[in-house]
Amino acid sequence: MKKLTALLPLSISIATALATAAHAQATGLQWSLPPEEQVVKALDGHPTVEAAGKRVGAASAASDMLRVGPHEVQLTGSYINRDVRLERNYTEFDGTVSRSFRLPGKAALDREAGQLGVEVAQNRMEDTRHQAALYLSQLWYDWLTASELNRTDQSNVALLERGLAAVKRRVQLRDASMLDTDQAQAALDQAKGVAAASLADMEQARALLQSNFPDLALPPEAPSLADPVLPSQDLTALHDLVIQRSHEIGAADREALRLEVVARRARADRLPDPQLGVRAFSLSYSRRSVSGPLWAFAAAGCIARTTGIAGVCFTAFGLMGFSG
């Protein structure tokens, strides 16, 4: 009996190794990673990656808005009917069509800020994709690890079942007692409990992987874990490569440049944009009507020089024709 007890751990290890090798040979799985095309599809369909892609579209729309500018054609007007006592009714109107124009330096800064905003959104999208890939890798290897543990536990159960059958045969031959049978049965029941727990962990890991990445087609059984292999490149070179290709660092760098351009654009607003338009009005009481082009600009420097805040002083020049 002592010899049998001493040989049990060794027998379990040998059976586990043989079962793992037989499984890998039977399934023909040489790699422990999913196919690349499935990974790309799964990452593209992840909600965080899709949301980051939409933010890139929003940044592109904002860039187009900055490129076009906020200035549009403005049409204003009024109509008044005056009733003068002891005289008659007088009809008056006032209409203006105008548009502001950005100075050339401001337009260039707006275009640069918009392009940098798009680059920031693109880098953040790639960083989000990288984080999703890391999460996929974690869930994938959690499933593979849980599956390997369950296969090991199932091998232990099969081995202990054969051991229990051998002990029962020895009892029939009067070479062992019923106590030996009870001990073998207890060991088998304990192994079955461990196998049931590892099976639950495996199913939970698979469900978590499938729910987070539904576009990833999972095989019926998890592939066997491959032996880890060090990369061919030096670790120092990989360290430098990580910094060089870091989208998070790239996004922070582009965001700093964008904010610098936005600050320059704010300083440029101290010189207001010119406005060009046409105004026409009629004063029936004085029997005069006026129409003609109108050009104006905001002379904000008078306040900006003293307070540092863009001013609101306006000067208007008009070329108008009179008719009586």
Q: Where are the domains of the chain?
A: 1-46+105-256
CA nearest 108: which of 64, 67, 62? 67
| Torsion (CA) 55, 61, 62, 64 in degrees, nearest 10 | 150
Q: Decide which of 93 and 1 is more confident.
A: 93
Instruction: Give the residue from 224, 163, 265 showing the smallest Cα distance to 27.
Output: 224
Reported as a single tens digit per residue, the pLDDT across 210-259 is: 999 999 999 999 998 888 788 888 888 988 998 998 999 999 999 999 99
Q: What band does 284 get if pLDDT is binned at 50, 70 and 90?
A: low
- Residue of 56, 145, 55, 66 whose CA lies nearest to 110: 66
> Per-residue pLDDT tens for 111-125?
999 999 999 999 999
Report pLDDT for 191: 95
Is residue 201 within 8 Å of residue 147, measured between CB atoms? no
Q: How many CB atoms lie within 10 A of CB 279?
A: 19
Give the per-residue pLDDT at 86: 72
- The model carries a pTM of 0.68
